[in-house]
Structure 1
Amino acid sequence: MYTKRRKIDDVSSFKSNAQNPIDVNDINGIKNHSNRIDTNNHHHDTQNHTIDNNQSKSESLAFSLPTEIFKEIFANFDNNYQTLLACALVNRQWCKNAVPILWRVPFKKPGSASSSTKVFEMFVRCLSPKARARLIAEGIDELPKPEYQPTFRYLNFLACLDFQLLWETTHEWLVRRPKGIVSMDAHIVRVAHLSREICTCIFRSSECLEQLVVSMDSSQLSRVPEANFVFTFFPGAVNCLPGIKELQVCGDYCLPILCKTLSQICQQLVTLRIDAPPETSSSLSQEETSINLIRAQKNLKHFQLYGHNKSTLSLLLTPISTCAHSLESLKFQNINFTSISRKAISSLCSCVNLIALEITKCRSISSLDLFEIAQKFTKLLYFSFNPYPSSIPEEFAKSILTTSQQIEFFSLKYSIQINEITRLSNLIFQAIIAYGSKLLFLELPILDETQITQILLTCPRLEEFLFWVPDSPTRVDQHLRNLGNMSPPSLKHICINGLKSIQFEVDSLIAFLDSDTRKSQKHRLTTIIMHDYENLELAAIFKQYGVNDKYPEDRIARKFIIIIMTQFL
Structure 2
Amino acid sequence: MSCSKIFSGDLPELTYKIIKYFQNDFSTLHSCILVNRLWCRLAIPLLWENPFSIPTKNYKFIETYLHNLNDDLKKKLSMYNIGDNLFHSNTFFNYPSFIKYLNIFKVIISVEKWFETAVGTLKPENRYLQLNSNISASNFERLIYMSLFEIFIKNEVNLHTLEIEIISNIYNMYYDIILELILQNTDFIHNIKNLNFYNNYNEQVEIKNRTLQLINSYQYLKKILLSYNNFPLYQSLLLSKDYNCSNTLNTIIFYYINFEGINNLDKIFDQLNVLESIHIVYCSFLNNNFIQQIINLTKPFKLKSLFISEISQIESLKLLFQKSGGHLENFGYKFDYNYDLSLKRQLSELLIVYCNNIKFLDFNEFEGQITSFNLIEMIKHNLNYLSISIIGYNDTEHISSIVLQNLGQTLPSVLEYLNLVLKIKADDFEVFLKNSQDTFIKKLLIMNIIQGQNSILPLIKEHIMEKKRVKYLAFIDCDFGCDKDLFSLKDEVKEFSLHNINVKSYYNELIDVYYFTKESD
TM-score w.r.t. the length of structure 1 is 0.64
Find out whether 1:302 has 2:223 as its counterpart: yes
Q: Residue 409 of structure 1 contacts residue 562 of structure 1 at CA under 8 Å; is this kept in 2?
A: no
Q: Select the residue among 124, 133, 158 that pairs with 2:66.
A: 124
For residues 525 and 496 of structure 1, the distance between their equivalents in structure 2, rounded to whole angstroms, comes to 10
Partner of 1:74: 19
Taking a change above 3 Å as real, the CA distance of residues 359 and 89 of structure 1, as seen in their structure-2 partners, is same
Q: Which amino acid aligns with 2:448?
A: D
- DSSP-derived class of the 2:468 partner: coil
Q: Which amino acid aligns with 1:332?
A: F
Find out whether 1:211 has 2:168 as its counterpart: no
Partner of 1:413: 333
Find out whether 1:378 has 2:297 as its counterpart: no
Partner of 1:44: none
RMSD (Å) for aligned C-alpha atoms: 4.8
Q: Residue 330 of structure 1 contacts residue 357 of structure 1 at CA under 8 Å; is this kept in 2?
A: yes
Find out whether 1:429 has 2:348 as its counterpart: yes
Partner of 2:38: 93
The structural deviation recorded for 1:488 is 7.3
For residues 136 and 528 of structure 1, the distance between their equivalents in structure 2, rounded to whole angstroms, comes to 47
Q: Residue 131 of structure 1 contacts residue 197 of structure 1 at CA under 8 Å; is this kept in 2?
A: no
Q: Select the residue among 436, 441, 448 that pairs with 1:532.
A: 448
Q: Which amino acid aligns with 1:243?
A: N
In percent, how many aligned pairs have the same letter?
Answer: 17
Q: Residue 100 of structure 1 contacts residue 157 of structure 1 at CA under 8 Å; is this kept in 2?
A: yes
For residues 411 and 84 of structure 2, the distance between their equivalents in structure 1, rounded to whole angstroms, comes to 63
Q: Residue 352 of structure 2 contacts residue 378 of structure 2 at CA under 8 Å; is this kept in 1?
A: no
Partner of 1:456: 377
List alignment gaps of at least 5 residues for structure 1: 1-53, 247-268, 517-522, 564-569
Q: Which amino acid aligns with 2:94?
A: R
Q: Select the residue among 305, 316, 324 that pairs with 1:404.
A: 324
Partner of 1:332: 254
- Residues 38-80 of structure 1, C-alpha deviations (whole Å, 9 max, x = no match): xxxxxxxxxxxxxxxx6xx634433426444444433443443
- DSSP-derived class of the 1:199 partner: helix
Q: Residue 480 of structure 1 contacts residue 512 of structure 1 at CA under 8 Å; is this kept in 2?
A: no
Q: Residue 405 of structure 2 contacts residue 428 of structure 2 at CA under 8 Å; is this kept in 1?
A: no
Q: Select the residue among 369, 372, 381 that pairs with 2:290.
A: 369
Q: Which amino acid aligns with 2:319?
A: S
Partner of 1:39: none
Partner of 2:96: 155
Q: Residue 220 of structure 2 contacts residue 245 of structure 2 at CA under 8 Å; is this kept in 1?
A: yes
Taking a change above 3 Å as real, the CA distance of residues 314 and 426 of structure 1, as seen in their structure-2 partners, is same
For residues 220 and 435 of structure 1, the distance between their equivalents in structure 2, rounded to whole angstroms, comes to 43
- DSSP-derived class of the 1:149 partner: coil
For residues 77 and 29 of structure 2, the distance between their equivalents in structure 1, rounded to whole angstroms, comes to 36
For residues 220 and 136 of structure 1, the distance between their equivalents in structure 2, rounded to whole angstroms, comes to 21
Find out whether 1:58 has 2:6 as its counterpart: no
The structural deviation recorded for 1:336 is 4.9
Taking a change above 3 Å as real, the CA distance of residues 134 and 402 of structure 1, as seen in their structure-2 partners, is same
- DSSP-derived class of the 2:448 partner: coil
For residues 146 and 478 of structure 1, the distance between their equivalents in structure 2, rounded to whole angstroms, comes to 60
Q: Residue 168 of structure 2 contacts residue 201 of structure 2 at CA under 8 Å; is this kept in 1?
A: no
Q: Select the residue among 175, 198, 202 that pairs with 1:273.
A: 198
Tell which has more relative contact order, 1 or 2 (C-alpha 8 A, sep 6+).
1
Q: Give the greater-gyration-radius structure (CA).
A: 1
Taking a change above 3 Å as real, the CA distance of residues 167 and 479 of structure 1, as seen in their structure-2 partners, is closer
- Residues 401-445 of structure 1, C-alpha deviations (whole Å, 9 max, x = no match): 22124335242323322x656577343233233234444444444
- Residues 485-514 of structure 1, C-alpha deviations (whole Å, 9 max, x = no match): 5x4765536747452265644553354145
The structural deviation recorded for 1:217 is 9.5
The structural deviation recorded for 1:105 is 3.1
For residues 85 and 225 of structure 2, the distance between their equivalents in structure 1, rounded to whole angstroms, comes to 41
Q: Which amino acid aligns with 1:333?
A: Y
The structural deviation recorded for 1:535 is 0.6
- DSSP-derived class of the 1:230 partner: helix
Q: What is the aligned residue count? A: 458
- Residues 463-494 of structure 1, C-alpha deviations (whole Å, 9 max, x = no match): 55544679477776666665565x47655367
Taking a change above 3 Å as real, the CA distance of residues 74 and 319 of structure 1, as seen in their structure-2 partners, is farther
Find out whether 1:508 has 2:449 as its counterpart: no
Partner of 2:190: 242
- Residues 177-214 of structure 1, C-alpha deviations (whole Å, 9 max, x = no match): 565224125x6656555554443232121434332557
For residues 507 and 133 of structure 1, the distance between their equivalents in structure 2, rounded to whole angstroms, comes to 63
Partner of 1:106: 51
Taking a change above 3 Å as real, the CA distance of residues 424 and 345 of structure 1, as seen in their structure-2 partners, is closer
Find out whether 1:183 has 2:108 as its counterpart: no
Stretch of structure 1 that moved more, 193-202 or 91-100: 193-202
Q: Which amino acid aligns with 1:532?
A: N
Q: Which amino acid aligns with 1:239?
A: D
Q: Which amino acid aligns with 1:537?
A: P
Taking a change above 3 Å as real, the CA distance of residues 64 and 460 of structure 1, as seen in their structure-2 partners, is same
Q: Residue 85 of structure 2 contacts residue 128 of structure 2 at CA under 8 Å; is this kept in 1?
A: no
Q: Residue 449 of structure 1 contacts residue 478 of structure 1 at CA under 8 Å; is this kept in 2?
A: no
For residues 190 and 493 of structure 1, the distance between their equivalents in structure 2, rounded to whole angstroms, comes to 43
Bigger strand share: 2
Taking a change above 3 Å as real, the CA distance of residues 337 and 527 of structure 1, as seen in their structure-2 partners, is closer
- Residues 526-554 of structure 1, C-alpha deviations (whole Å, 9 max, x = no match): 6665543541232022224432274899x
The structural deviation recorded for 1:97 is 1.6
For residues 510 and 136 of structure 1, the distance between their equivalents in structure 2, rounded to whole angstroms, comes to 59
Alignment of 1:133-144 (within 5 A): 135=76, 142-143=83-84
Taking a change above 3 Å as real, the CA distance of residues 292 and 346 of structure 1, as seen in their structure-2 partners, is farther
- DSSP-derived class of the 1:425 partner: helix
Taking a change above 3 Å as real, the CA distance of residues 511 and 354 of structure 1, as seen in their structure-2 partners, is same
Q: Which amino acid aligns with 2:69?
A: L
For residues 427 and 457 of structure 1, the distance between their equivalents in structure 2, rounded to whole angstroms, comes to 15
